[in-house]
Amino acid sequence: MAARRGTAAAAEEAEGESDAGEAAESVGGETVTKGTPAGAAAASGATRAPVSAARAAAATPGRRRDPHRVLICSSRSLFAGPARRRGASARRAGPGPAARRGAAPPGGFPTPLRRHGACSRGSDAGAYDLTAYREGDRGGRGRRGENRPVKAASLLLAAALLAPGPPGLALGEDGLADAVAAEARRCGGHVGVHALHLPSGRSFSLEAGTPFPMASVYKLPIALAVLGAVDAGQLTLDEALPVEEGDFRRGMGVPARERFRAGVPLRVEEALRLMVRESDNTATDLLLRRIGGPAAVQARLGELGLAGVRVDRTEIRMAADGEGVTQLPPGERCTPEEYERRRAAVPEEARRAAARAFLTDPRDTATPAGMTALLARLVAGDLLSGPSTSRLLGWMRDSPTGARRIRAGAPAGSVVQDKTGTHWSGANDVGVVDLPEGAGRLLLAVFVKGSDLPVPEQEDAIAGIARLLAARLSPPRERAAAPASR
């Protein structure tokens, strides 16, 4: 595994969950180095808020940045409450409607938040609970003050994004950073993690601002766009989607193909369920076509102010780009059999070159912090109506694809709502963990790229990371009430 310096901005892509294809040459892998020990900030007497990447670079010229830096912070000592306006000169996370909705502006949060302005209410961090979404409520269109939970969550996420160098504040000398780094090394590649505990607001970051290939995780933002169109009356859940033989995709496309051959129309709601719950590739491309393609999804993400998440291609186009297939039939109507013939005709060296090119392709990627921000606003009811939010989280809860990942590391009795993704050099899982016995809620995103290890080994490491963070990010009172991790 090769070492990498500086900020990683490359990512590789692939098709759906079970459709990893042949194992491509592993390139761009990184050795995960230990993060700064959790008590380092306290031991050194550091109490300042994190600084921006530009300021950190200027303060430490020539310093090599640890590609697996870790930030652990607590809202009780950092971003505990909503930032207050201080006139036209107030320093904010970002101007405009996106910031007012609680979202990061494109490119992140370039201006550090003033510690004295964001920490004035550290004692009531528990007041910002993003667990409830109300039936029929549409985020962003309520009375003044109704979006305060989302704004608070955005400030907590900003704390992680604003730290390019050493950790800000640590949660005691508990060795959490070292423990997570050890689990990350087991993945054999480059690992990105972001976790946020609610309502405490404690968070953990490891390469949280680095783009990673989503693979089938990208079906989550697609579902947001489709359900948003349903909420807006632009389509209905009962609408039947036209399907031709050339619309079927390999891998997880089997369920949709079986239903089509049985003569059952594929309704929008059923396609959504197949896409989210079963990670069905056929349903994904059918829904993308219906709402106007990946560009329509990206436009919706922009309207919602969701930064750090990109949707650029269809499932079959992603697979073709990653495997060196340069030509697809008109309208991308290509049966699995025809696609396999085209793929088999690609010379091995060209296929390897295509896999390497994926490592520098920014399309269809997400940052761990960007994905956690999406999850925070989803559970807050800020992205969809109440019924649509319930449907989406229900499909995620019932999904069988991630049994060995976050679910395997969650404490016994937890309820997990997640979306997995798998490509030829990494495994991903993002989700919401409702912890048992009133221990709160954990939002977690784990991405891997550049690994040549078998997927089960990566899954074990993801479970280990989830186990550590679920046990250690909840405040002591809540940890005491929660059962031991499995």
The full set of domain ranges for the chain reads 40-214+365-481, 218-358
Q: Which residues pair with residue 431 across a beta bridge?
A: 418, 444
Backbone angles phi, psi at 246, to 5 degrees: -75, -5
Spatial separation of the C-alpha atoms in residues 219 and 207, rounded to whole Å: 22
Residue 250's nearest CA partner among 8, 6, 16 is: 16
- Tracing tokens 């904010």 back to the chain, one arrives at 92
Contacts of 199 (CB under 8 A, 6+ apart): 125, 126, 127, 128, 129, 130, 131, 440, 441
Per-residue DSSP letter, 17: T
Residue 142 has pLDDT above 70, yes or no: no
**Inter-axis angle of helices 281-291 and 219-231, nearest 10:** 40
**What percent of the chain clears pLDDT 90, i.e. is strictly above it?**
55
Looking at the structure, give the CATH architecture of the domain made up of residues 40-214+365-481. 3-Layer(aba) Sandwich (3.40)
Determine the residue type at 451.
Answer: S
pLDDT at site 477: 55
Q: Give the model confidence (pLDDT) of 178-191 as tens digits.
A: 999 999 999 999 99
Domain 218-358: give its CATH code: 3.40.710.10
Distance from C-alpha of 278 to C-alpha of 233, rounded to nearest angstrom: 26
Q: Would you state the pLDDT for residue 117?
A: 25
Do the domains 40-214+365-481 and 218-358 sit in the same CATH topology, yes or no?
yes
Q: Provide the pLDDT for residue 166.
A: 34
Tens-digit pLDDT profile for residues 7-58: 333 333 343 443 433 333 333 333 333 333 333 333 333 333 333 333 334 4
Q: What is the mean pLDDT of residues 313-334?
A: 96
In whole angstroms, give the CA distance from residue 54 to residue 93: 16
CB 367 within 8 A of CB 211: yes
Which pLDDT belongs to residue 426?
94
Minimal CA–CA distance to 201: which of 465, 426, 438, 443?
443
Cα Dmax for the chain: 69
The structure's pTM equals: 0.70
Task: Please tell me which residue, 120 or 152, carries the higher pLDDT value.
Answer: 152
